[in-house]
Amino acid sequence: MEITASLVKELRERSGAGMMECKKALTENAGNIDAAMEYLRKSGLAQADKKAGRVAAEGRIALAQAPGKAVLVEINSETDFVGKDENFVKFANTVAQVALDSGAADIDALKAAPYGNGGTVEEARQALVAKVGENVQVRRLAKVDSSGIVTGYVHGGRIGVLVELKGGNEELARGIAMHVAAMNPPYVKAADVPAEFIAKEKEIELAKMSEKDKAKPAEILEKIISGKIAKIINEVTLAGQPYALNTDMTVEAVLKKEGADVVGFQRLAVGEGIEKVVEDYAAEVMKQAGLA
């Protein structure tokens, strides 16, 4: 497979490694970017992949909540300009409220739900498309309905979080939601981390060790690796991370102090997983004019 400049650029953005290291990693792995990423990590040249599958797109996350329940919806637009348009914002907020009131279980049910003007959410979406002149999509729905403490938080219309607590209070739940918005932990606690993830991290940490360290007695080597894995688990779990509102304590310590436990959380960010085409209008004009 040809190792293109764009492929090298993508790996550099994902890994933070240098251009030559990225090109070598891609060459060694036949252009497979995921395998090249792992190769760089094993070589100690890259941090954990933080950008895989998270390509920016435009739109808005909207929240609606009531005691014991909350809903987030993601509504997408083609441009940030339309994403901030008052008609678009009103539509997003109304759809979130419809999702809460209707109890819609999924996007298809939400699209078919009454919008409040005699039509459905889908019909209102089509009307908005005609008004703003852009494609608009009702893309995702996240919801919690519980006897525990439930709260939602939206940061700048771009990131939304739902948190369900057992024990604690609304203030704590909101603080945890803000932490999740900022730190984006993949898992709640250590027990939630998949065994495959831990096995892969052990393999990577072992590959990064010097031959001198590898030659140490098995029990010492195991302690070294276990310490590194414990640190990684803290980094990828909500419980193990320093609490964003008080970094002197971990989230686990804060929860224990308040006599609370996180039952679960959901986090939506605008455009996750959507491949957005970046137009080079200057190049296109030059091409059309026969100047490139």
Q: What would the DSSP string read from start to end of 135-167?
A: --EEEEEEEEE-SSEEEEEEETTTEEEEEEEES
- Does 284 score more than 80 pLDDT? no
Mention the CATH class of domain 55-145. alpha beta
Considering the four listed CATH numbers 3.40.30.10, 1.10.8.10, 3.30.200.20, 3.90.550.10, the one that applies to the domain covering 5-42 is 1.10.8.10
pLDDT by residue (tens digit) across 119-174?
A: 999 999 888 888 888 888 999 999 999 989 999 999 999 999 999 999 999 999 99
Structure tokens that stand for 174 in this block: 């909101």
Q: What's the pLDDT band for 254 if we cut at 50, 70, 90? A: very high
Distance of alpha carbon 56 from its chain centroid, rounded?
A: 11
pLDDT band at residue 272 under the 50/70/90 scheme: confident
pLDDT in tens, 190-199: 999 999 999 9
Mean pLDDT of 98-118: 92
- Segment 181-206 shows an average pLDDT of 93
Structure tokens at 81: 């300009």
Average pLDDT score over residue span 244-262: 96
Query: What sections of the chain are H helices per DSSP?
Result: 5-15, 19-28, 33-42, 80-83, 86-102, 107-112, 121-132, 170-183, 195-208, 211-214, 218-236, 251-258, 281-288
Which residues belong to CATH 1.10.8.10 in the chain? 5-42
Contact yes or no for 156/172 (Cβ under 8 A): no
pLDDT at residue number 220: 86
CATH 3.30.479.20 in the chain is located at 55-145
User: Of 191, 183, 198, which Cα lies nearest the Cα of 229?
Assistant: 198
Does position 229 have pLDDT exceeding 60, yes or no?
Answer: yes
What pLDDT is recorded for position 179? Answer: 96
Q: Using alpha carbons, list the distances in angstroms from residue 77 to 83, 108, 144, 270.
A: 6, 19, 25, 10
* C-alpha distances out from residue 47 to 50, 108, 199, 201, 204, Å: 8, 39, 17, 12, 11
- Give the predicted TM-score (pTM) of the model: 0.75
